[in-house]
Amino acid sequence: MKKIDLLQAPFVQEMIETTTNLYRLGWDERNGGNISYLLQEEELAPFLDLTKVIREIPMIFDASALAGRYFIVTGSGKYFKNVAKAPDNCLGIVRIKPDGKTLEVLWGLSEDGLPTSELPSHFMSHIERLKIDPEHRIVMHNHATHLLAMTFTHELTERALTRTLWQMCTECLVVFPEGVGIIPWIVPGTNEIGEATATKMQDFRLVVWPHHGIYGAGKDMDEVFGLIETAEKAAEVYTYVMAQGGVKQTITDQQLHALAKGFGVTPREGYLA
C-alpha cells in the first residue's frame, strides 16, 4: 500500500506549528529548546515503512523502559525558525532498540543530524510521567522569558514561586494545581540534570531550571504548550506588577480555596493557608 506523505501527518504538522510559535514568542532563540513526542505505531504506519532503518545512534542513557517506543524529536543544534522550511533536517523520528542504548532513525535528521542533546533528560521524564499518566506523550523544554527572569529575582522555593504564579492570574491554580517544581542549577545535556528533572516529574508537570528555562509534560501538545504559556503569562504579569511598584493587593488564600472548589481541583497540600 502506498504511504501518505509524512509531511502531512498530524504529528509532523504539530511539531512544525509548535516550534514556529515557540520561536515567534522568543522562548527558543537560536537552537535553544527541544521537544519529544511519543507516537503510537498505528499513527506512523500510514506514513512510514517501519521496517526501514536509516541508521543507528548510540545513547549515553539506558532507555530500556521505553524499548520499542517511537518518538518524533527536535534535532541537536537545529534552529526552531528553520523547522517549517526544512522539517526533515530539523526533526527526526526514532525508535528505541531493545538494548535501550541505541536509537534507530526512521525518518529525518538528515545530513547525519543527531537528536537534541537533552534527549536523555526527555526520556527520563517520559518514563516517570508514564508511570503516573498512561496518556502522557509530550515533553517540552524552552526558555520562557519571564519565568527565566523570575529565577534571578524571586525566592527559589517551590511553594513561594507557585504561590506567586497562582496569585498573578486567576486561571493558574486551575491549570497547574500541583504547582511548579524547581531543580538546582545543573549543567544541561547531562544525565544528572535529567535525573533531577525526572524526579520532580513524579510530582509536577512543570519543572523550572533556574537561570535556564522550563520543562513541561502532558498528554498532548496543546496541554503542554498551554501549561507553559499560562505560567509564563503569570510571570509576565508579575514582572509588570513589580515594575509598577510591587503588589498592593492580590488574590487571597481564601479566594484561591474558593476557586479550587469551584473548578474541582486540589491545590498542593500546604501551599495555601
Under a CB-based contact definition with an 8 Å cutoff, are residues 161 and 150 in contact? yes
Mode of pairing for the β-strands spanning 102-108 and 91-96: antiparallel
Q: Is 117 exposed, middle or buried (0-12, 13-18, 19+ CB in 10 A)?
A: middle
230, pLDDT greater than 80: yes
Q: Which of 144, 152, 149 is nearest to 232 (CA)?
A: 144
The answer to whether residues 70 and 184 belong to one domain is no
On whether both 123 and 54 belong to a single domain, the answer is: no
Q: Quick one: cell of 127? A: 518514563
157 and 239 fall within a common domain = yes
Q: Which of 116, 145, 175 is the last residue of a domain?
A: 116
**Helix axes of 221-243 and 10-24: crossing angle, nearest 10 degrees:** 10
List residues forming the annotated binding site for Zn(2+): 141, 143, 212
Within this chain, do residues 166 and 264 fall inside the same structural domain, yes or no?
yes
Share of the chain above pLDDT 70, in %: 100
User: Within this chain, do residues 136 and 249 fall inside the same structural domain, yes or no?
Assistant: yes
pLDDT of residue 1 exceeding 90, the answer is no
Helix and strand numbers (H, E) in the chain are: 10, 9
Q: Considering 88, 116, 144, which residue would you say is the last residue of a domain?
A: 116
Range of the domain at 191: 118-273
Kindly list the catalytic residues.
Answer: 118
pLDDT grade for 266, boundaries at 50, 70 and 90? very high
137 and 258 fall within a common domain? yes
Q: Are residues 81 and 162 in the same domain?
A: no
pLDDT category of residue 76 using cuts at 50, 70 and 90: very high
pLDDT band, very low/low/confident/very high, at 210 (cuts 50, 70, 90): very high
| Co-location of 109 and 125 in the same domain | no
115: which residues sit within 8 A by CB, 6+ positions away? 57, 73, 74, 75, 76, 92, 94, 103, 109
Task: Using CB atoms within 10 Å of the CB of residue 146, give its burial: 0 to 12 exposed, 13 to 18 middle, 19+ buried.
Answer: middle
For 179-191, what is each residue's pLDDT tens digit?
999 999 999 989 9
pLDDT range class, residue 3, cuts 50, 70, 90: confident
Please state the length of the chain: 273
Q: At what angle do helices 191-201 and 119-132 cross, to 10 degrees?
A: 20
User: Which amino acid is located at 79 in the chain?
Assistant: Y
Q: Select from 116, 132, 149 the last residue of a domain.
A: 116
Q: Which residue has the cell 500500500?
A: 1
Q: Report the CATH number that the domain containing residue 272 is assigned in CATH.
A: 3.40.225.10
pLDDT digits (tens, 9 = 90+) for 141-154: 999 999 999 999 99
The residue type found at 127 is I
> pLDDT-based confidence at 2, cuts 50/70/90?
confident
Helices 221-243 and 145-153 cross at an angle (nearest 10°) of: 50
What integer is the mean pLDDT of 72-84?
97
**Sequence-distant (≥ 6) Cβ neighbours of residue 12 within 8 angstroms:** 6, 72, 87, 91
Domain count, the chain: 2
Q: What pLDDT is attached to residue 204? A: 98
Q: Residue 60 pLDDT > 90, yes or no?
A: no
CB 35 within 8 A of CB 76: no
For all residues of the chain together, what is the average pLDDT? 96
* Residues 157 and 69 grouped into a single domain: no
Which of 72, 75, 76 minimizes the C-alpha distance to 13?
72
For residues 62 and 104, membership in a common domain is answered with yes
Quick one: 230 and 244 in the same domain? yes
* DSSP run (H or E) holding 147: helix 145-153
The pLDDT tens digits of the residues spanning 103-128 come to: 999 999 999 999 999 999 999 999 99
Residue-level pLDDT at 61: 87
CA distance 102 to 243: 50
Residue 157 shares a structural domain with residue 75:
no
Q: Which amino acid is at 7?
A: L
